[in-house]
Amino acid sequence: MISIFKKEIRSFLSSLIAYVVIVVFLLIIGLFTWVFADGNVLVLGHANLDILFFMAPWVFTFLISSITMRSFSEELKQGTFEILSTKPITDVQIVLGKFLASVTLVVFAVLPTLVYAYSIYRLGSPVGNIDTGATMGSYIGLILLGASYASIGIFSSVITPNQIVAFILGLFLCFFFYVGFQQLSNLSLFGSYDSFVQSLGIQLHYDSISRGVVDSRDLAYFMSLIFIFLSLTLLALRGRKW
């Protein structure tokens, strides 16, 4: 697994993908946090990063799909996966190695935003007048959301050798799991089950953690979602060998 992890990290860093993803993420988030008139911190005058944590899931939908679209698609297209599968490494290690590499890149993209958090901390009146619990909870929720998106994107990549198709499928699934169940529950189509349908979506649990309360139910949801999509990836991978 470590060898796959290192291979994926080297692959990311040897291409422009990692750098473009991180720069684009920071640029978009920075503009919404500090510049755009309707919701930036300086205009609202509140010592919080609500706009960052509101925008990040939408930006991640595109960026993580672009990161993960090549995880398996490129190897399937070039035929290098057959070579990889002959090495003394299990399918589980391959999947976990690629998943952890994608999550590591997500963490690298999020870390520079701590500068924004420190800036808000210093700008507070008095200095330090910021909801530290909510901010920390929001960062935890953002990493868990990024990991969930990564598992979805890797699954999308393993079922097609076409990177564009993998990107579009990953984009759709990330979008649907983030907001789709929420919108379905708002239609009141399921009666007493509407709250259950809502709980199937990422947004409810992400918003809950962002309030600063790290509930075990929210953690269990994210862990379960990641496990399900990594398991589906593993099944699809083994299916290709049959």
Percent of the chain scored above 70 by pLDDT? 85
What pLDDT is recorded for position 161?
Answer: 85
DSSP state of 118: H
Its pTM stands at: 0.89
What pLDDT is recorded for position 230?
Answer: 95
Span 173-204, pLDDT tens digits = 999 999 998 888 888 777 778 888 888 999 99
CA distances (Å), origin 56, targets 18, 50, 73, 224: 17, 10, 26, 22
Span 28-49, pLDDT tens digits = 888 877 776 566 665 665 656 7
Q: Which of 90-94, 154-158, 235-239 has the highest mean pLDDT?
A: 154-158
- Check if the beta carbon of residue 61 is closer than 8 Å to that of residue 149: yes
Report CA 148 to chain centroid distance, whole Å: 5
Q: 3-class DSSP state for residue 160?
A: coil
User: Within 13 Å of residue 48, how many CA atoms lie on the same side as its CB?
Assistant: 18
Using CA atoms, how far apart are residues 23 and 13, in angstroms rounded to an integer?
Answer: 13
Closest CA to 165 of 100, 68, 80, 83: 68
Query: pLDDT higher for 21 or 236?
Result: 236
- pLDDT category of residue 19 using cuts at 50, 70 and 90: confident
Per DSSP, the residues of 198-210 read HHTSHHHHHHHHH
What pLDDT is recorded for position 25?
Answer: 85
